[in-house]
Structure 1
Amino acid sequence: MKEHTKHIYKAVIVCASGMGTSTYLASKVEKEIANLQIDSILSLTELKDKINNRLIDQVIISTVSLPFLHPDNYILVSPFLSDDEINLIYNKLGSFAIKNEEVPKENTEPNTLSMVGSARYGEGMVQILRNLTVFELPASSANLKNVTELLSNTSIVVKPKQVLLDLDRREKQGTFVLDNLAMVHAKTSGVSELLLAVFHFNGSTIWDGFEIQSLLLLAAPVDAPKEHIEMISVISANLIEEPFLHVLLKGTEEEIKTEVESLLSNAFFTKVKALLKEPSTK
């Protein structure tokens, strides 16, 4: 393990949709394994495309089984990354021939693609803040059908039944509950914009066998650009931070909106700064 830490490894995180639980896992990995850098977060479809085009040269860490890969060619872990799974990653790093040394990026003038990407990040942030809603509900309302029906009153939920179907399909792949907060998420044709909703229940209730007090719901259009997915994924990535988790669990609507706006603003400036430093491809 000491030998492995001398090298910088780059990895991709894979989950069913490429948002939500995978971004939480990415935060955990980077926090616990200092020499493992997350290059990108991919859905199953995106991973298959990159493998078919031989564009993957990173360690693959997945929250779901990948039947199209040999088990030795990726690392399967839970989104919560237990101590045993951290040790598993350390032990498996030595079997991967890929070792990447970090190379500083050259500062250049921003190109057109950088400016377009910056605008998309900003658009994604605006959509999330505009569509953020907080509900106070009785504990008996804690199920996907009820919360989806509440969202059907918003203009961006164009197909409520499709939203319910896609959320339910994603939930069947694994439940995410962290300190009495459940998170559900999906890419769906049922919404026209990025959607963030928080549901507070007036007492503890059971969600798929887990005791919860609040529910976090994230949804994105199936054709949302990657910049939009990255922006909404900032929410799930920051669940690793106790203060943010506490605000989602106990905060007022105003407190939640203030905290989300702060997180998204910081992420926006970080992403735009990185974009503008990317060398031009001209």
Structure 2
Amino acid sequence: MLMSTRTKEIIQIIILEHGYITMKKIADKMKISERTVYRNMNEISDVLAEYDLTLETVSKKGVKIVGSGKNREELKLYLEAEVYTQVVEPKERRNRILFELIHSENYIKAEALAIDLKTSLPTIRNDLKKISELCESYQIELVQKKGEGIYLKGHQKERDCLLVNILRETIEIERLLSWMDGNTESFHPFLLDIEEKYGYADMIKRCHKSLQNLNMDFEEAGYYMEDGSYLEFVILTALMIRRNQMGKSKKEINQLDENISKEEKQLTKRAIQYLKREFMIDFKDYDHKELCHMIHILSMPTLSKELTAQTYELRGKVRKFIEHVEEEMGIYLSQDQKLMDGLVAHMDKALKRIRSGMSISNPIIREIEKDYKELFQIIKRSARLVFSEDYFPEDEIGYLVLYFAVSLDNITKKTFRILVVCSSGMGSSKMLASRLEREIPEIYVRKIVSLIGLGKEDLSDYDLILSTIPLYLDQEMYLKVSPLLNPQELALVKEKIRRHKHKTLRRIEERGKDAERWEKMNGMLALARLNQFTQQAMKIIENFTILSFSKDASEEDVVDKIGEICKNCGFELVREQNEINQGKSMESYFVIPATKVSYFEYFSKDVKEVMLMVCYFKGEEVYDWNSEEMIKSMVVMVYPEEVNDLEREIINNITDLIIEDSNMIDLIEKGDKDGICQSLSFQFMEYIKHIM
């Protein structure tokens, strides 16, 4: 049976519990996120099924393993066996292979790796191709010798840099730091091997102990190291001392970067003082230079520290970078001074890392790519355009994305508007409002109303409605919560806010897809298509009509009138198959939430072009024949059954404007033909500006 290392650890934690254990408790024990624990649940269930055990989940209590005591004991014995790692994920497997090769002084046979990792020989050979490509970036050669096996050829210093990158990529920062602090529960196969097989764990822990005081020196000098960079510094320093003891020092003395500051040189001296006190050894000139280089690469000046003259040119490039990003996004960010200062400080170090051949691991790169999909691609293109002489790996791009994500968050701060609905008195409503504003600073409760008062509110003025009682609204529009707002409800509210903040990013992504279609065309074809788009858009606006009805008009009156318009355009409205309140057309008919407007779509192979009209009930509210809600107008969209890209873009623009724009809804409710035509014109012009 195969399972990942993490799955094995989670099962071990759960099986030792006598009762239920929460995901949070598991995550805390392993020093990982709850999301990471959840990702392993399917694999855990598969493993348990092999022993006729199941994973029982109970809300608010957690999970526990259910089954016979005999089967539980068999599973525990299997997990406690000396097979520490059973690798199933490709990246985990390749890191395991690299870890073994880095520590080996001799050739290792591929067949032996296949047996140890419980995989096939072709899989190992395929892994070796990818490993070889990675090694090249570290100036290491993967040597494959027939009859002998495989071996890493390169200086020990480069091998150590590769090792640090693997540790950073494989082990969470919290777990690695906990292990350095002497916590024996911070189990990981690599750490176990460093402890028992390779014997330099004590050196790393002693370096950590001696260099902890350096943090205060950094603060006094106006510098700081992020947690991940600090861990790299400690491990690289320990490995440098180990190389010296093994007689494998890289003694070439290179000139220090001229941009190294006097503060960085002073910090190097302090680090050497701490290390000398701990290890009682002398440091050579090349050791001084190596430590100084590491501090220069891995530390940053605090944002309040005045930027030096050497960063003036970089600031200009960063400004161009921001301008390029905002041009693609359509959002103005240049006035965000924190974004500028943060990027300058980060880029300064990132470029030094890239140019010195050091790589950085981003442990949340996959989450960043998923949550900021289009923004990630925009920043990747912009970085490689502005900094064309330097190659930014995706892990570095991920960190740049976070700077822009923070800036976008600042743009949306205090814009999440809450309406609280409560029937049990103003005291409980105030309690709920107070809890919300205390727990989530970026929101503000705009109003508190009773259930009766809800009907008088313009719900488009709010981003979310919270109610202590069930409402007749669509579930997407509101959340039912208790006045005390329990943790689960608070989590739901925060998730709603997260989605709200990323509306801008979703719009960027949709616009990016539209623009991509245009970019794939050549210039002449793009102009021709643009001309077609403009002509079709103009035709829809010119043919747009308002059909007026009295409040006593029946459904049949409305459908007959629409049918008459359709007949004049050369096709029949087939009511038997597409009646508004029957059959398939119900899928294309609805009342737009929180408005007095309904929306009806009709499509058929007989329709030749897109048509738009509004049925207006002369300012009177009438009962909608399907939902029995009160409406003032009905939008009718008619289009061919099969539409081309241009027609689809036009339809999407119209529906987006009608459903999302409160001003457009107001014009439709009033039956304002000129206003509707004007809004449509502006919508089409904005779309053309974006794709150009």
Select the residue among 516, 527, 542 that pairs with 1:130.
542
1:177 partnered with 2:592 = yes
Give the letter aligned to residue 151 of structure 1.
I
* Structure 1 counterpart of 2:623: 206
* Structure 2 counterpart of 1:140: 552
How far is 1:157 from its partner?
4.9
**Aligned 1:59-208 pairs, distance under 5 A:** 81-82=476-477, 87=495, 110-141=522-553, 143=555, 145-154=556-565, 155-161=568-574, 165=578, 168-173=582-587, 175-178=590-593, 179-202=595-618, 203-207=620-624, 208=626
Measure, in 2, the Cα distance between the counterparts of 1:264 and 1:148: 29
Measure, in 2, the Cα distance between the counterparts of 1:128 and 1:80: 34
Give the letter aligned to residue 573 of structure 2.
P
Contact 1:129 1:257 in 2 (8 A): yes
* Structure 1 counterpart of 2:649: 230
How far is 1:160 from its partner?
2.1
How far is 1:216 from its partner?
0.6
- CA 1:88–1:257: 2 relative to 1, 3 Å: closer
Measure, in 1, the Cα distance between the counterparts of 2:475 and 2:530: 31
Q: What residue ranges of structure 1 are gaps of 5+ in the alignment?
A: 11-33, 36-77, 92-99, 274-282
Contact 1:190 1:221 in 2 (8 A): yes
Measure, in 2, the Cα distance between the counterparts of 1:89 and 1:241: 20
How far is 1:180 from its partner?
0.7
SS of the residue corresponding to residue 681 of structure 2 reads helix
- CA 1:142–1:234: 2 relative to 1, 3 Å: farther
How far is 1:218 from its partner?
0.7
Contact 2:609 2:640 in 1 (8 A): yes
Give the letter aligned to residue 159 of structure 1.
E
Give the letter aligned to residue 623 of structure 2.
I
Measure, in 2, the Cα distance between the counterparts of 1:242 and 1:9: 29
Measure, in 1, the Cα distance between the counterparts of 2:648 and 2:573: 20
Measure, in 1, the Cα distance between the counterparts of 2:609 and 2:585: 21
- CA 1:90–1:113: 2 relative to 1, 3 Å: farther
- CA 1:252–1:175: 2 relative to 1, 3 Å: closer
Contact 2:616 2:671 in 1 (8 A): no
| CA displacement, residues 121-140 of structure 1 (integer Å, 9 cap, x when unaligned) | 22330231132111221123
Normalising to structure 1: TM-score of the pair?
0.55
Taking only aligned residues, the RMSD between alpha carbons, in angstroms, comes to 4.1
Contact 1:133 1:198 in 2 (8 A): yes
Contact 1:189 1:222 in 2 (8 A): yes
How far is 1:200 from its partner?
1.1
- CA 1:146–1:188: 2 relative to 1, 3 Å: farther
Equivalent residue pairs, number = 196
SS of the residue corresponding to residue 159 of structure 1 reads coil
Greater per-residue helix proportion: 2
Measure, in 2, the Cα distance between the counterparts of 1:216 and 1:226: 22
| CA displacement, residues 138-163 of structure 1 (integer Å, 9 cap, x when unaligned) | 123252x4333213333325112269
* Structure 1 counterpart of 2:340: none
SS of the residue corresponding to residue 184 of structure 1 reads strand
Greater per-residue strand proportion: 1
Measure, in 2, the Cα distance between the counterparts of 1:246 and 1:118: 30
Normalising to structure 2: TM-score of the pair?
0.25
1:247 partnered with 2:630 = no
Q: Which moved more, 1:239-248 or 1:119-128?
A: 119-128
Measure, in 2, the Cα distance between the counterparts of 1:253 and 1:132: 8
How far is 1:80 from its partner?
8.5
Measure, in 2, the Cα distance between the counterparts of 1:160 and 1:142: 17
SS of the residue corresponding to residue 263 of structure 1 reads helix
Contact 1:148 1:163 in 2 (8 A): no
How far is 1:164 from its partner?
7.0
Measure, in 1, the Cα distance between the counterparts of 2:652 and 2:474: 14
Measure, in 2, the Cα distance between the counterparts of 1:197 and 1:128: 9
| CA displacement, residues 100-141 of structure 1 (integer Å, 9 cap, x when unaligned) | 9x9x98x89944542343233223302311321112211232
How far is 1:263 from its partner?
2.0
Contact 1:127 1:193 in 2 (8 A): no
Select the residue among 676, 683, 691 that pairs with 1:256.
676
Contact 2:596 2:632 in 1 (8 A): yes
SS of the residue corresponding to residue 220 of structure 1 reads strand
Give the letter aligned to residue 165 of structure 1.
N
Measure, in 2, the Cα distance between the counterparts of 1:183 and 1:108: 34
Measure, in 1, the Cα distance between the counterparts of 2:527 and 2:685: 17
- CA 1:88–1:252: 2 relative to 1, 3 Å: closer
Contact 2:596 2:631 in 1 (8 A): yes
Contact 1:231 1:267 in 2 (8 A): no
How far is 1:268 from its partner?
3.4
How far is 1:196 from its partner?
0.5
Q: Which moved more, 1:230-239 or 1:160-169?
A: 160-169
Q: What residue ranges of structure 2 are gaps of 5+ in the alignment?
A: 1-33, 36-363, 375-407, 410-472, 480-491, 500-508
Give the letter aligned to residue 557 of structure 2.
N
SS of the residue corresponding to residue 139 of structure 1 reads coil
- CA 1:83–1:235: 2 relative to 1, 3 Å: same
Measure, in 2, the Cα distance between the counterparts of 1:164 and 1:126: 31
SS of the residue corresponding to residue 571 of structure 2 reads coil
* Structure 2 counterpart of 1:218: 637
* Structure 2 counterpart of 1:278: none
Measure, in 1, the Cα distance between the counterparts of 2:605 and 2:639: 8
Measure, in 2, the Cα distance between the counterparts of 1:81 and 1:267: 28
Structure with the bigger RCO (C-alpha within 8 Å, sep 6+) is: 1
Give the letter aligned to residue 205 of structure 1.
V
Measure, in 2, the Cα distance between the counterparts of 1:126 and 1:237: 18
Contact 1:194 1:228 in 2 (8 A): yes
* Higher Cα radius of gyration: 2
How far is 1:198 from its partner?
0.7
* Structure 2 counterpart of 1:8: 372
Give the letter aligned to residue 8 of structure 1.
Y
